Structure 1
Amino acid sequence: MAKLLQIAIDGPASAGKSTIAKLVAHNLNYVYCDTGAMYRSVTWAAIQKDIPLDNELELEKVLDDITIKFVPSEDGQQVFVNNQEVTKEIRMPKISNNVSTVAAQVAVRKYLTDLQQKIASAGGIVMDGRDIGTTVLPDADIKIFMVASVKERALRRYKENISKGIDTPLAILEQEIEKRDYKDSTRSISPLVKAEDAIKLDTTNLTIEQVIVKIMKIIEKKA
């Protein structure tokens, strides 16, 4: 029986991690774990309770009373927080612009890292995020670090937002992504960095199909 692998895909905001990770998991018949949605879910729950997003003690109370669940659907995957569907809500700008603050809190990272490690313990998992290869799954069999230019990532986010009826100017999105990059890469806890043994993949000028082909070749070679 072939070994079930742990595959970590990291990178900055809007590098295409989630889209690629879902497709890779589908190709391999593996479980896909959207760690970003977990942090977004905690952020959403905290905002609903009007809790200061940098108040770790108050956020711990949110963690004590939160259940995050992923449910497969025809459109991909639905996200539920305490049995309420929040799939679209957690992708709104208010969440995107605040999730880095929540993700920087030690209690939040520990809670979700423990949960993610438990999910991945049996292998057969594709997990994407910002610290998967460095912190969550440091011994992952395959580590990919996806990057793309700020301009390209902003354009991708713009197109995604338009499809959801969100009309944020492209220039604003570029500013938000640059700010998010800074927050993610300079935070003291599990900052966004490329793991030493990760393979860097620049997707700026690549189609989704081309990225998938490259990653599948990496998996076949390493497996």
Structure 2
Amino acid sequence: MTANSFAPAEKVELKPRQRPVIAIDGPAGAGKSTLAAHLARTFGFLNLETGAMYRALALKAIENDFGFDEEEPLLELAAKTRIKLEPQLEGNIVLLDGTNVSRRIRDKDVTSGASQISVHPRLRAWMVAEQRILGQAGGVVMEGRDIGTAVFPDAEVKIFLDADPEVRGNRRYQQLPGTPEAPKVTESALIAEMRERDQRDRTRTESPLKPAPDAVILDSTNLTLDQVLVEAEKIVRSHLPAAPQ
């Protein structure tokens, strides 16, 4: 399954889903990607990380010396960009204009850029339309910031994964040893970055970060990873009686 995120805009009639959608939303560093990958493996769904689309466009902007503040140039850049997601059980392969950028889009500069371009309303509307096409058949776990509120407000399962910013920053910091960024980043800087991204995501005009009214809020502040995975499985099974036990 592949998707061209920036194909020429055209009206697409979405067909009724054949299988359920599991929507996972939450702030940066909450562990959404890890949880989505686990649930996809457990229940035999595809794992579609929609945030990779924003990251890929941010990388294209960086490579072409585009700023993140003006929406119109970014929309023009997007129209000339081909982004494909190739979902795998272990995660997505992300292709930018035919080049595998799956690792590069995880770098700090791209992460920051993706958060900045995501505030633009028309760009988000474009992304949302493409994400709906990606998951229209169901049988997918989609994670992001607005899956349960904007992309699939009718998703069969909605989980809002949250944690205190101090905890999220600390978890990110614990993952740094052995990486090129380790000597350059402090724990306090990561926590400050989490707070900044939270503020930007929660106050943007288009699809601000917030739990859907019918989402189950899973706060992982005082939970281990294994406990989060177990609780999330329980949530899915409670909403999908036919899910494998």
Shorter-chain TM-score tier: over 0.9
C-alpha distance in 2 between matches for 1:73 and 1:191: 29
- 2:194 matches 1:177: yes
Q: In structure 2, which of residues 194, 208, 211 is the aligned counterpart of residue 194 of structure 1? A: 211
**Quick check: 155-164 or 30-39, which moved more?**
155-164
| Offset, 1:159 | 2.5
TM-score scaled by length of structure 2: 0.85
The answer (yes or no) to whether the contact 2:68–2:116 under 8 Å persists in 1 is yes
What CA RMSD, in Å, does the superposition of the two structures yield over aligned residues? 1.7
C-alpha distance in 2 between matches for 1:33 and 1:72: 6
Give the length in aligned residue pairs: 221
C-alpha distance in 1 between matches for 2:170 and 2:62: 27
Q: In structure 2, which of residues 74, 99, 102 is the aligned counterpart of residue 59 of structure 1? A: 74
The residue identity in structure 2 corresponding to 1:16 is G
| Offset, 1:207 | 2.1
| Offset, 1:77 | 3.4
The residue identity in structure 1 corresponding to 2:103 is K
Residue by residue, what CA displacement relative to the aligned partner does 1:48-103 show, whole Å, maximum 9, x if unpaired? Answer: 11112121111111211222223467974332211112222211111222222200
In structure 1, the residue matched to 2:8 is none
C-alpha distance in 1 between matches for 2:66 and 2:170: 32
The residue identity in structure 2 corresponding to 1:124 is G
The answer (yes or no) to whether the contact 1:35–1:116 under 8 Å persists in 2 is yes
TM-score scaled by length of structure 1: 0.93
C-alpha distance in 2 between matches for 1:161 and 1:94: 15
SS of 1:53's partner is: coil
C-alpha distance in 1 between matches for 2:129 and 2:37: 22
Q: In structure 1, which of residues 4, 7, 13 is the aligned counterpart of residue 28 of structure 2? A: 13
SS of 2:68's partner is: coil
Percent identity reads 38
C-alpha distance in 1 between matches for 2:90 and 2:152: 28
Pairing 1:125-136 to 2, within 5 Å after superposition: 125-136=140-151
Unaligned runs of 5+ in 2: 1-17, 241-245
Unaligned runs of 5+ in 1: none
Residue by residue, what CA displacement relative to the aligned partner does 1:1-31 show, whole Å, maximum 9, x if unpaired? Answer: xx62111000000000011001101111101
In structure 2, the residue matched to 1:150 is 165
Q: In structure 2, which of residues 37, 53, 56 is the aligned counterpart of residue 22 of structure 1? A: 37
The residue identity in structure 2 corresponding to 1:47 is I
C-alpha distance in 1 between matches for 2:87 and 2:239: 29
- Say if 1:163 and 1:73 are closer, same or farther in 2 by CA, change over 3 A: farther
Q: In structure 2, which of residues 100, 113, 132 is the aligned counterpart of residue 117 of structure 1? A: 132
